[in-house]
């Protein structure tokens, strides 16, 4: 079991570095000495719902098809699922950066430091669409609430100057073997991997340092002892390391830490324009300019081409999105734009997206359920209409129909029209939404991105 293993591993003694001879104190040893104390092992536990086919043993295709259907599936059961990962302490108060996929949906989170100390933690914020999350350690009972824990920590450094072939050190807890160290080189930078679930993997660092399940969320360190990335993904046929590991770059990690600390979520920088790809010309074109905005103040007009941002070419939406993932709110950027064959550089400030542009309309008309339905123990709101121009109507499977009872949005109960309106007002473009619906005697959920 994951947590019994964690307890046993807490008995291990942290390695001693002080007594090493100079010949043994290599750059890798020095790097590990700097970062290992701030590296943690993370155990997360959540409840998952499994679809159960009571006729599985009959090997009957008719029953198998019937009970695998999400609308008619036999019955569901809740099971506790445990996951294991790594993370780094990023301040002395107990903030921990890790991969979002390690802790997504977790009800319980346990962290163990390299010196064996163990704490409970909770999610402070998620960095979607990046596969990053920020945790905060819950002080143990009896600890003064206004007193810092004074824990070892590191700050993600810079990865935009990485050299191919330089040393790369991965630290984490592969297969629950905490405080494990592997070394390799930086194999490539700027890799783009296919999106998975809600996550975008842009500008990834590729390394051949061995990364295995359990390393997720741990630091990738250079020979100077600086955290240059967060180990996240492997490409493997076997499920283990095959020399193709990928880390989220430190610039993106720093933005997640700053944004979640300040606002509780990742905030993309906004300059006031809407861009579209001109694939034939291999460039981005300004489709619309909002006013007031920095783009409008700079005199940028629809039809202008964005050539580069901070000196880096912007040939595609992926190029631009990758840059946005490291630009903080309030940060100045240099945008090179082309208008009527003439180029100029303008200075823009990354702003928070105006609330008016973030509002979401799911396209549902709902009303309160009848008092008789409530007396029978029912809850939710009745779906009176699914507007054809709404977000939900455009989904392929049209999962909601008039007459359905909408029970919850993002696991938040919706028991009145006012509650539904309040939940929808908090939804933002780019976020993932999970909706729970009751249709007759069937309860089901579905997710989609806004």
429, part of any domain: yes
pLDDT in tens, 57-89: 544 454 444 444 444 445 566 778 888 999 999
Residues in the chain: 450
User: What gap in Å lies between CA 103 and CA 417, rounded to an integer?
Assistant: 32
Average pLDDT estimate for 345-358: 90
Q: Which member of 91, 110, 114, 131 is catalytic? A: 131
| 154: in domain | no
Catalytic residue among 86, 114, 180, 216: 216
Residues spanned by the domain of 82: 2-138
Question: How much is the average pLDDT of 90-96?
Answer: 94
Verify that 240 and 306 share a domain, yes or no: no
Find the CATH number of the domain harbouring 431: 2.30.42.10
The span from the CA of 262 to the CA of 330, in Å, is 12
Query: 14-64, pLDDT tens digit by residue?
Result: 565 667 788 888 999 999 999 999 999 999 998 766 665 555 554 445 444
What is the arithmetic mean of pLDDT over 388-395? 81
Pick the closest to residue 428 from 124, 128, 202 (CA basis): 128
Based on the fold, state whether residues 112 and 189 are members of the same structural domain.
no
Residues 282 and 221 in one domain: no
The answer to whether residue 192 sits within a structural domain is yes
Give me the pLDDT at residue 1, please: 29
Question: Could you tell me if 103 and 18 lie in one domain?
Answer: yes
Based on the fold, state whether residues 255 and 279 are members of the same structural domain: no
Q: Report if residue 35 sits inside a domain.
A: yes
Q: Which of 42-56, 271-285, 377-391, 400-414 has the lowest mean pLDDT?
A: 42-56
| The predicted structure's pLDDT at residue 280 | 80
Supply the CATH number for residue 177's domain: 2.40.10.10
- The answer to whether position 148 is within a domain reads no
Between residues 366 and 389, the one the model is more confident about = 366
- 290 annotated active-site: no
End of a domain among 354, 374, 403?
354
Asked if residue 160 is part of any domain, the answer here is: no
8 pLDDT tier (thresholds 50, 70, 90): very low
pTM exceeding the 0.85 threshold for the entire prediction: no
**Same structural domain, 440 and 421:** yes
Residue 151 inside a domain? The answer is no
Per DSSP bridges, beta strands 227-234 and 245-249 are: antiparallel
Residue 188 maps to a domain: yes
Residue 414 and residue 428 share a domain: yes
Q: Using an 8 Å Cβ cutoff, are 156 and 254 in contact?
A: yes
Count of domains in the chain? 4
CA distance linking residue 339 with residue 304, whole number of Å? 5
Which entry of 86, 91, 100, 101 is annotated as an active-site residue? 101
Specify the residue for token string 């319980």: 108
Check residues 261 and 411 and name the one with the higher pLDDT.
261
pLDDT in tens, 254-302: 999 999 999 988 899 999 999 999 888 888 999 999 999 999 999 999 9
């Amino acid at each position: 079991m994951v947590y019994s293993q964690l307890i046993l591993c807490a008995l291990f003694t942290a390695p001693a570095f002080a007594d090493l001879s100079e010949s043994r104190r290599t750059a890798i040893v020095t790097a590990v000495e700097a970062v290992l104390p701030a590296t943690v092992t993370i155990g997360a536990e959540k409840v998952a719902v499994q679809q159960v086919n009571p006729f599985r043993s009959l090997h009957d295709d008719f029953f198998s098809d019937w009970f695998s259907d999400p609308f008619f599936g036999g019955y569901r059961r809740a099971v506790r699922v445990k996951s294991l990962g790594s993370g780094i302490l990023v301040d002395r108060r107990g903030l921990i950066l890790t991969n979002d996929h390690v802790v997504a949906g977790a009800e319980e989170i346990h962290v163990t430091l390299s010196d064996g100390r163990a704490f409970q933690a909770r999610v402070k914020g998620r960095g979607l669409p990046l596969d990053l999350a920020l945790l905060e350690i819950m002080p143990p009972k009896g600890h003064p609430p206004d007193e810092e824990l004074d824990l070892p920590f590191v700050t993600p450094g810079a990865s935009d100057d990485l050299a191919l072939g330089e040393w790369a050190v991965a630290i984490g807890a592969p297969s629950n073997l905490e405080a494990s160290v592997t070394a390799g080189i930086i194999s490539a930078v700027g890799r783009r991997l296919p999106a998975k679930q809600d996550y975008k993997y842009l500008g990834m660092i590729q390394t051949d340092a061995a990364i295995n399940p359990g390393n997720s969320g741990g630091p990738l360190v250079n020979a100077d002892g600086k955290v240059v990335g967060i180990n996240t993904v492997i490409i493997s046929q076997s499920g283990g390391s095959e020399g193709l590991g990928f880390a989220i770059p430190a610039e993106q990690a720093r933005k997640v830490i700053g944004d979640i600390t300040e606002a509780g979520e990742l905030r993309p920088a906004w300059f006031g324009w809407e861009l579209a790809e001109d694939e034939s010309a291999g460039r981005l074109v300004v489709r619309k300019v909002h006013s007031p905005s920095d783009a409008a103040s700079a005199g940028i007009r629809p039809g202008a081409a964005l050539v580069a941002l901070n000196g880096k070419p912007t040939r595609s939406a992926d190029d631009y999105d990758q840059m946005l993932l490291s630009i903080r709110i309030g940060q100045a950027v240099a945008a090179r734009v082309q208008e009527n064959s003439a180029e100029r550089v303008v200075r823009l400030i990354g702003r928070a997206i105006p609330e008016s542009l973030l509002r979401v309309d799911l396209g549902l008309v709902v009303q309160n359920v009848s008092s008789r339905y409530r007396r029978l123990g029912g809850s939710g709101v009745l779906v009176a209409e699914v507007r054809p121009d709404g977000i939900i109507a455009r989904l392929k499977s049209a999962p909601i129909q008039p007459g359905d009872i909408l029970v919850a949005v993002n696991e938040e109960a919706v028991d009145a029209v006012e509650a539904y309106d309040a939940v929808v007002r908090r939804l933002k473009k780019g976020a993932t939404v999970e909706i729970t619906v009751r249709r007759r005697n069937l309860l089901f959920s579905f997710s989609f991105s806004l």
